[in-house]
Amino acid sequence: MPGEVTVHVSVLLEEVIKALKLDRGGVFLDCTVGGAGHMEAMLKASESVQVVGIDRDQKALSRAASRLKPFEGRFSLHHHSFSELETISKHGPFSGILADLGLSSDQIEDGRGISFREDSRLDMRMNPEDELTAETVVNNYTAGELTRVLAEGGVRKNLKRYVSAILSQRPFHTSDSLADAIVNATPMKDRFGKHPATVVFQAIRIEVNAEFEQIENLLNFVPTAIASGGIFACISFHSLEDKLVARRMRKWRGEGLPANVPGVFQHESQSLGRLLTPKAIVPTAKEQEANPRSRSARLRVFQFSANEVR
């Protein structure tokens, strides 16, 4: 609600601001407003910068509106998912586009069942207006559907055990009850290190929010909406989404895609610009110590050249 304060700490803040080259001025797009830390820093960087921000979480937008009041007149906020990005095109072309694909701390601590470390309802929706919930996935999906969800979401070990545990013990209504079932289904030798429920919860959340589909929508949109010379910066938090981003940036660079091949779009077979991060940028040791949730963050940056081939 308005006036609510964010607890989210934006990751790789200095690196993002440097990558976007905000001193050029222009209109920028923040595709994931979240706690508005990146957006605030973008607006602070130069008075010639304007920022359009979107988020699928209305609560995040309300918090952002309060935080960004000092910059009134230089930003706008819109309740959209990546699948609705076309409606934002009228504000472009954009000098730069930022996407932070991670969860905000506000969402993790909001009682949506995203974290297995709290006793909350199994929801996991980024947008509370969406229909599909984690409770529906866990309690109504077939064995085959659950196997697909967990496999596509990154579960490599004990997949059959986890599916069997869910099927035999459901219905589940809270995050801690599901987490307990996953732990109990995990062999003792696999209970050390990362919590056994981490990747299972990740996989269910990805399904609920159609995260891979949303990322593909974003990556399809970027070349159509960015200005000549514009920069796209993207932060990912797990290897599955990072691979999607890295693969697409290599395509934009024209890597490994011959021209005139049926089914290959023109912009996929020609170089659209240059990859500014041959290796992903990671948080410094200092940032990781101050903000442990930043440890898995990866920043990749691409600069577009002339846009006539898009």
Residue linked to tokens 């809270």: 174
* Residue pair 25/48 in contact by the 8 Å Cβ criterion: yes
Is the preceding omega at residue 196 within 30 degrees of 0, hence cis?
no
Is the separation of the CB atoms in 98 and 106 below 8 Å?
A: no
For residue 202, give the nearest of 153, 149, 241, 239 by alpha carbon.
Answer: 153
As a dihedral over the C-alpha atoms of residue 81, residue 87, residue 90, residue 93, rounded to 10 degrees, the angle is 40
What's residue 26's pLDDT?
96
Q: How many residues does the chain have?
A: 310
Residues 6+ apart with CB under 8 A from 118: 109, 111, 175, 176
pLDDT at 310: 41
Q: Quick check: 39 and 64 in contact, CB under 8 A?
A: yes
DSSP string, 98-122: EEE-SPPHHHHTTTSS--TTS--BS
Tally DSSP H helices, then E strands, for the chain: 13, 7
Name the phi and psi angles at 55, rounded to 5.
-160, 150
List of residues 6+ apart from 177 with CB closer than 8 A:
none
Kindly state the tokens that stand for 277. 């991060």
Which residues lie closer than 8 Å to 160 by C-beta, 6 or more apart?
Answer: 147
What pLDDT score does 183 carry? 96
| Alpha-helical segments (H) within the chain | 13-20, 37-45, 58-67, 105-108, 134-140, 143-152, 159-169, 175-185, 197-208, 211-225, 239-252, 266-269, 285-290
Tens-place pLDDT, residues 8-57: 678 999 999 999 999 999 999 999 998 899 999 999 999 999 999 999 88
Place of tokens 């996953």: 182
State the pLDDT at residue 3.
Answer: 46
Residue 107 · residue 127 · CB < 8 Å: no
Task: Please identify every stretch of the chain with a pLDDT value under 50, giving residue numbers as ranges.
Answer: 1-3, 105-108, 111, 258-267, 308-310
- Judge whether 4 and 31 are in contact, CB under 8 Å: no
Q: What pLDDT, on a 0 to 100 scale, did the predictor assign at position 81? A: 87
Q: Tokens 């949303």 correspond to what residue?
A: 214
Domains of the chain (ranges; CATH) run: 13-106+211-304 (3.40.50.150), 131-208 (1.10.150.170)
